[in-house]
Structure formats: structure tokens, C-alpha cells
Amino acid sequence: MTKTPSSFVLASGNAGKIRELQALLPDFSLRPQTDFAVPEIAETGGTFVENAILKARNAARYSQLPAIADDSGLVVHALNDAPGIYSARYAGPDANDAQNISKLLNKLDGVAMPERRAYFFCVLVFMRHENDPCPFIAQGRWDGAILERPEGEFGFGYDPVFGVASHHCSAAQLSLEVKNSLSHRGKALALLKHALFENRVV
């Protein structure tokens, strides 16, 4: 008898993020929070962890389902760790990927490649319900460097300018399968998945 997949709400409307997480969690049914008309919540936390908890609690409250929230971003050493938690809105509250990348490259204009070290950071939070006092938290990091110009057409966000030394290309030139095996989100999700099974949450 085939087991019915567990259903969770994903506290995001980002199509690229949803595709990545669903590919990494084939045994689960992830539904975007837009399916439940979950309103966006202000990310008022000062860290990735705080913002992920805010988003998970908000999605669980409105959907009445267990929720997974992701808060992730790009940390660039030469920019005093910016854009960090402001990665998605680096160029403004309504900025798109191209505008964020353009601002990033302008900020790094004249910075030599050895000084363009950066990493993607991801925090995943799982909450069984909005009042869950013990959420599961996992994190992952992916080191790389900021390229001088965008390359590749896959991925989303800052992927076109994130250089992956091991593959001599940008993150946007990797297949989804390869990216998931290397990425900050893939590492965090592997840890979260193990914790959920280990504690018999699913």
C-alpha cells in the first residue's frame, strides 16, 4: 500500500525556491502559502533564524498545516557581510533579481577577484503548528565568489553571479540536481529531513 505523502505548507511564493525544495523532498507534498491566501509578514528579525521563524509561524497560523520556512541570502565579505538578510530587497522593497545583481556588481566595481569571496546561507525552520515551542531548525552554507558579470540561465536570485570553484562556472550554469547536491539549501534540507525522521515527526 502506497503511503500518502505528508502535506506541509511552504512559507514562500518564490517559484524557484519551491521547485528546489520539492525536488529535495519528493516524499512530501509541499504547497505554497499562496494556496491558502497567507498574507506576507514583515521580516523584522535581525537574523536569518528570526525571520524564518516569523514566516513559519505565520504560514502555520493561516494554513492550519505544519509549515516549513526558508530564510536565506548572500553574504559578501568585502561588503561587510551585505546584503545578508536584505538579499531579496537589496535594491529596494520591490526589486527584482536583475536589479539586485546590478547593485551588487556596482558595489564590487574595482574589487579584485581574490577579495570577492562570498557565501550563500540558508536557515530552514519546521513548525508543527503556530504555537510550536520547539521548532526544528537547520542551516547550511555554500562558499563561492562573486563573478564580474552574470553567467548562465538557470536558478534564481544571485545564482548568475555566484561562482562555484569546484565546477568552474556560476550557480546558474548548474543543473538543478547538481546545484541541490552543493547548495546551502540542499545542505540545510538534508539536516532538517534527517531530524524530522529521527524524531518521528513524519
With cell 524564518, the residue in question is: 52
Residue 196 contacts residue 179 (beta carbons within 8 Å): no
Burial class of residue 197, CB neighbours in 10 A (0-12, 13-18, 19+): exposed
Cα–Cα distances in angstroms (integers) from residue 66 to residues 46, 88, 94, 113, 155, in the given order: 24, 25, 29, 43, 27
CA distance 97 to 115: 23
CA–CA dist 38, 26 (Å, integer):
24
Taken in order 125, 174, 15, 78, the sign of the CA dihedral is positive
Q: Which of 71, 97, 132, 143 is catalytic?
A: 71
Query: Is residue 70 flagged as an active site residue?
Result: no
Asked if 192 contacts 123 with a C-beta cutoff of 8 angstroms, the reply is no
The catalytic site residues sit at: 71
